[in-house]
Structure 1
């Protein structure tokens, strides 16, 4: 299949992997990224003070917020467009151009706002500005790369790029720790950004080698408008899923104390390793639902089962080894956050139900319903966690789990009703 001016993508159907293989490949890749990320914070915690670690964690959370905003639903739009048989190259050219510009604008906007509202040493550093900007742009591109390769049936390629990216950031942090104790937040941020950049470059090479894509980036309105029209509703739904976990470290760092963010974030990051299983299964479930709507019901139940199996194993490990794992950061982290990690790990089951429901809503185009539910749940999660922040991370995590479980019970009933109706209509 070819597009204009030499931009070529081989027919994705000739190289498609199974939905399960794509899902497991994504999960392995995210596990490698999370493992390297945890090791990165272990090294960082031993290389500098809690304050600098907290500031760096808040900055990383801010980058992730920027990437989630900047993607503008482009990844979901690629999944929909490719699933409907549109030429992948033309869609990818527009998607990468849009998110590259959006990532740059949002990162600069955040940096200006932060310097004006809460100036500190890190936010005024030229190195911090540069690395934050690069991290936001490359991080946004990686999100689209992930979903583009899922749409083309090659989601399993994620394992290599995330392993390489995570290894590079960890190696850079280890060199900094070995060379100078007391590293500043901007130096740690530079190490983290290096890994994101490597993952982006490797992903671009994979996209070319696996499916023959050669970019010809385009910001033509005729290409961009349809992409945004499809993607923005899906992106709003994605934000309701991601925003609570990303916003809370920022709120803690600026409304409570940087130390509060430092103790909360490692527990959340490790729990997210388990949560990634249903999240990534949901992406593949959505892609398969668009490509083959007749199998949406069976795909949903299969994805939910695998989410609970794979994610449940990860959650069980976290519950059993919470204290030893966090003690790698230091005993103060283990004492403060082990209980929080156990409560957050228990949230795997309600989170899997929520992801299955959202994936069905995406595939059916029922995003308004899911967005309303997601906004209400996200506000309740952050409010409950902040309300209990003065009692420590464990109380915050318990409040988070209670709210998430109530929300999952409600959407679970709705999910069953929708799937029953689909099965009845199919008959």
Structure 2
């Protein structure tokens, strides 16, 4: 029992799953979410115009940016704190309170900013504002839930919550498409938000069943400050990984055309399904590196091998089936974006190297170095893709791949040097 919260916990250490099981569980869960998400965009593409789809994809990207900012590194701080033996109840109470407040503030700030800066493409209905706000809060909570369950050795629980959430979102979109053609972007956004709410609720129930956690949220500075101090550097590193892919659809929608975002986003979303394997395995690699620092080298190579195996299989499927998959959205999507999907899928290998490097930097506390690398690479990725936007999605994806590969080559050499140093220190 936690003296601070009065919460009873089961012994999570006795119920921990292996690192591989947690990794694969997370990958399967994200695959289910991505599959349902792809089906959602298929339904959306047939339910309304390219413009409305483009505005919805921009809104979804904005929500994801808000969630990544609102996490404030708290998820990483939970992994570090629980891995070092701190009471989970106290850590989680402070973590969930911080990110719920941050998600609310950032979502409202974005909505006001969007209305002022891009009034021609801004969605201003009450339904959109409400669903955007709820999506940002629940999405941020889901991120911390994921990392809390990884820290407790139960990452495999992701499968059921993402499958349920994705299924609900898809079902809502199908109902809207059946009811009336020409759905507005705010209605599609509401359908997408339902899935996030369900994933959040299921995750809370899982946390209670698996480890006996009952939330008693607390914003007391004595609890929140240590988490923020611990997590913010790691948050900056995470943002360098996620921001380029999230910012680009927004930039396309508001500076090029909503249709440009509509054609780019499905290719990027499907490529991200493959990229999720090294990203999620990197989270488990980080968690295990904190718990067992003496096995960091072995964990890193094992994580990289599985990232390439699982992610590579998904990437190969995308390369082979790029045109048929995109044609499900419509022939105009397949004709415009099949080449882009193939080039983006080829980026799985350099992305896996980047994730392995970042996970080692997290476990070793070398976040400053990784942040500098990530910011430089992120700016180069977005700039190169935007510079090629007038030549279409395929040219954008090729530019993205070239820059990502150059960056991965540099960090791969640095990763080898760091791992050699770890091995030498261990001896």
The normalised TM-score by structure 2 is 0.99
Q: Equivalences for 1:12-27 in 2 at 5 Å? A: 12-27=12-27
In 2, are the aligned partners of 1:354 and 1:408 still within 8 Å (CA)?
Answer: yes
Displacement of 1:424 after TM fit? 1.3
Where has structure 1 moved over 3 Å in runs of 4 or more?
none
SS in 2 for 1:7: coil
Q: 1:191 and 1:423 mapped to 2: Cα distance? A: 50
User: Aligned partners of 1:329 and 1:7: how far apart in 2?
Assistant: 48
- Runs of 5+ consecutive residues of structure 2 not aligned to the other structure: none
Q: How does 1:134-153 map to 2 (within 5 A)?
A: 134-153=134-153
Give the equivalent residue in structure 1 for 2:36. 36
Contact 1:58 1:250 in 2 (8 A): yes
Matched, 1:110 2:110: yes
Is it true that 1:320 corresponds to 2:320 in the alignment?
A: yes
Q: CA deviation at 1:253?
A: 0.3
What is the aligned residue count?
427
CA contact (8 A) 1:72 1:232 kept: yes
Which residue does the alignment assign to 2:291?
A: 291
User: Hey, what does 1:6 align to over in structure 2?
Assistant: 6
The residue number in structure 2 matching 1:95 is 95
Q: 2: CA distance between counterparts of 1:365 and 1:5? A: 30
Structure-2 change in CA distance of 1:5 and 1:360 (3 Å): closer
Deviation at 1:5, TM superposition (A): 3.7
Shift of 1:6: 2.3
1:251 equivalent to 2:266? Answer no
* Structure-1 separation of matches of 2:48 and 2:268: 21
User: In structure 2, what is the Cα distance between the partners aligned to 1:77 and 1:7?
Assistant: 20
CA contact (8 A) 1:3 1:89 kept: no
Residues 121 and 345 of structure 1: CA distance in aligned 2, closer, same or farther (over 3 Å): closer
Query: SS at 1:2's partner residue?
Result: coil
Instruction: Note if 1:207 corresponds to 2:207.
Output: yes
Cα deviation, residue 120, structure 1: 4.5
Judge conservation of contact 2:285–2:303 (CA < 8 Å) in 1: yes
Q: Does the CA contact (< 8 Å) of 2:115 and 2:122 recur in 1?
A: no
- Aligned counterparts, 1:358-373, within 5 A: 358-373=358-373
**Structure 1 residue runs without a partner (length 5+):** none
Find the residue that maps to 2:34 and give its secondary structure.
helix
**Distance in structure 1 (CA, Å) of the matches to 2:390 and 2:197:** 37
Contact 2:114 2:122 (8 Å CA) reproduced? no
What are the residue-to-residue correspondences of 1:15-414 with 2, within 5 Å?
A: 15-120=15-120, 123-414=123-414
Measure the CA separation in 2 of the matches of 1:282 and 1:312.
15
Aligned 8 A contact 2:278 2:311 in 1: yes
Aligned-partner Cα distance in 2 for 1:402–1:366:
26
Alpha-carbon distance in structure 2 between the residues aligned to 1:116 and 1:258: 18
Deviations 1:75-131 (A, max 9, x none): 000000001000011000000000000000000000011111112476210000000
* Aligned-partner SS, 1:182: coil
